[in-house]
A and B are shown apart, each in its own frame.
Chain A
């Protein structure tokens, strides 16, 4: 009995100690920075962001903002894209309020805006003439709006373009037009393909953001799409079969070996090392191919994304800053978001870090800055041209019930895209047939589409 009492007392004591320790906790990373602010009106903004070059530059430049705004501290939590999606979705959807500013893709913005998870930025941005909201590239504004309201502002935007090694093309006597067709590109790839150099490098790695980023645009220009206007899945159509069959034939004849291992970074390396002659992918790749340490700097040519039945076939992606409705520091967050996406910030990056590091694809005025035009002359004009020409409201031949190009802005699409990408990758790797892949993908896509039928 006495022993039991002792054990009970010991247990209660242990729980009390644990609770005291827990209540007095403080971490080692960015210690002492609670987001609710501290003494003397100090404000700490927590920013969840993606690990890309532009965001890393912003983290470096945050001290400029902090010194211009005494009492404000900005803490960046950089994450890998998939981790960011998981962590930020859990936080924003539950209203946990761990982050004051979140980085989200164009895929999320309209969905989260519709769910009421994000602060509507329209009135504040329109009221501030110095911000010049109309300077944001119109297609990028479209993909970040829902019901006419802007829920996120871009700090980085991209489309897709065709990149080719001019020296290789010249040697083979091949000319790439400024607006090529896919057939012209496939023919050119075949001509320059050798045992040491693939004619073209294209993504084949399974994943909705990997293989299906370029492949969806190929399907769309061949006349297909994921859904019709009534959310009926249209994957088992002749247009899909023609597009996917074309993609595989081109890769089989003149693509990289083992395409299912290739995505953006692998193709970038292949182009730089002279293992591939052409590549159709994100426009930001051009700035990497033209970087000072790139072996192919000055040797590259750039053209619009190849087409078949449409006039343009570039995709449209942007990384954006948004403010969750769960934040307790909306005004401070808004002030930082405006600073980080302003015309002045772009100039600050140019002056402090370098003009070739300026965030592309967000503002039209960026492309009129003389220093940027000079630093990015090889790829800036085509990037602006393509980004201004694409139509996210109807990228394919037929109308679609969502806004977006290389993705469908419904929550189920990540899963649909991932499952279908695996099936198509199996076909690319000769582990399955096209009919089987498309028929299974049709069922998966239809199950998701049924949830959105009206």
Chain B
């Protein structure tokens, strides 16, 4: 009896060790490209593009200097403007939409949800030309607020879907109690529902922010100079006739920082938020 329990315990701990090992390997696999990017950013250009990988070297900051000299701060500011406004738009519009699709249900919820997500079925390449022509006609090409509105609209379906799954988690008894106490619709959303789903809102907002921050294709085609954002700026370091890996890595490291910091700051809320919709 004692022996069999020891065997079970040791087999359990072996399984645990194996899981830990696999997890670490996976984490390192995912993390290595980021680590390599940061490392390359501190290498001289010739070393960064060398055939033999180098881990120990004298770090230089030429890449960072060059990226900043080329006006990276302006592109970061544009990205921040577009991503923040887009996030506000998508969150502010998604909250009432998700409320109407979960708590105070409108007719044909399923059809509405399918319609929302179907707007994302069409590839961006198919919509970019009509969008370009419309914006050209109304004189809104190369306008950062236009880009923010486009990103907000683009992120809206995903945000609505995410929010709805969080709203469904709210116990109906609480809402009923609020209604019995005479809370109106607005009060019900703001005072009762939102505080309960705040981690979910934070998760949806962060995902919306990341999508807008990283968007490349529309930013390249719908902007030309004053509204250009960071992703196409990063692409501009790629040189078909010369080495560019160090400066590109440095610029990409700077570009990744705001999202990493935002994710870090919201870590606690995020973990709760991301797991909220999953509990059924």
Contact = CB atoms under 8 A, between A and B. Distances in A.
Interface in B177-235: 185, 220-221, 224-228, 232, 235
A202 to B, nearest CB: 16
A28 B52 CA distance: 40
Given A29-B227, A94-B132, A269 B146 contact: no
A284 B240 CA distance: 11
Given A94-B136, A288-B242, A87 B145 contact: no
Nearest to A156: B241
A28 B78 contact: yes
B144 interface: yes
A265 B220 CA distance: 24
Contacts of A94: 132-133, 136
B225 A77 contact: yes
B225 A46 contact: yes
B39 to A, nearest CB: 17
A79 interface: yes
Contacts of B81: 28
Nearest to A276: B51
A98 interface: yes
B50 interface: yes
A96 interface: yes
A131 B264 CA distance: 59
Given A86-B221, A269-B50, A81 B240 contact: yes
A30 interface: yes
Interface string B98-139: 000000000000000000000000000000010011001000
A87 B224 contact: yes
Given A79-B232, A83-B236, A94-B132, A273 B220 contact: no
Chain A facing B: main interface SS: mixed
Given A269-B49, A269-B50, A28 B243 contact: no
A273 B51 contact: yes
B235 A79 contact: yes
Interface in B133-155: 133, 136, 140-146, 149
B74 A28 contact: yes
B226 A26 contact: yes
In this complex, the member of B74, B146, B185, B226 whose beta carbon has the largest number of chain A beta carbons within 10 angstroms is B226
B135 to A, nearest CB: 9
A125 interface: no
Given A22-B143, A79-B232, A80-B238, A27 B243 contact: no
Interface in A336-369: none
A269 B243 contact: yes
Interface residues of B, number: 44
A81 B241 CA distance: 10
Interface string A34-53: 10000000000010100111
A46 B142 CA distance: 12
B37 to A, nearest CB: 17
B237 interface: yes
B53 interface: no
Contact of B144 (A27, A80, A87, A98): A27
Interface string A397-417: 000000000000000000000
B241 to A, nearest CB: 5
Query: Is chain B's interface secondary structure helix, strand, loop, or mixed overall?
Result: loop
A98 B51 contact: no
Contacts of B142: 27, 98
A90 B226 contact: no
Contacts of A31: 74, 226
A117 to B, nearest CB: 15
Interface in A412-442: none
A322 to B, nearest CB: 16
B226 A33 contact: yes
B46 A293 contact: yes
A161 B85 CA distance: 52
Contacts of B70: 78
B77 interface: yes
Contacts of B244: 51, 265
A48 B239 contact: no
Contacts of B146: 22, 25
A183 B241 CA distance: 28
Contact of B239 (A51, A86, A209): A51
A35 to B, nearest CB: 8
Contacts of B42: none
Given A87-B220, A273-B50, A29 B241 contact: no
A1 interface: no
A304 interface: no
Given A273-B50, A275-B51, A52 B224 contact: no
Contacts of A444: none
A21 B145 contact: yes
Contacts of B77: 28-29
Max chain A C-beta neighbours (<10 A), residue from B132, B146, B238: B238
Contacts of B235: 79-80, 83
Contacts of A77: 224-225, 228
Given A22-B140, A26-B226, A29-B78, A264 B220 contact: no
9 contacts: A18-B149, A22-B143, A28-B77, A79-B232, A80-B238, A81-B238, A90-B132, A265-B239, A282-B241
Q: Which 8 A-B pairs have the closest CB atoms?
A: A27-B226, A28-B77, A29-B74, A98-B224, A80-B238, A27-B227, A25-B145, A22-B145
Interface of B: 46, 49-52, 70-71, 73-75, 77-78, 81, 129, 132-133, 136, 140-146, 149, 185, 220-221, 224-228, 232, 235-244
Interface of A: 3, 18, 21-22, 25-31, 33-34, 46, 48, 51-53, 75, 77-81, 83, 86-87, 90-91, 94, 96, 98-99, 209, 263-265, 268-270, 272-273, 275, 282, 284-285, 288, 293
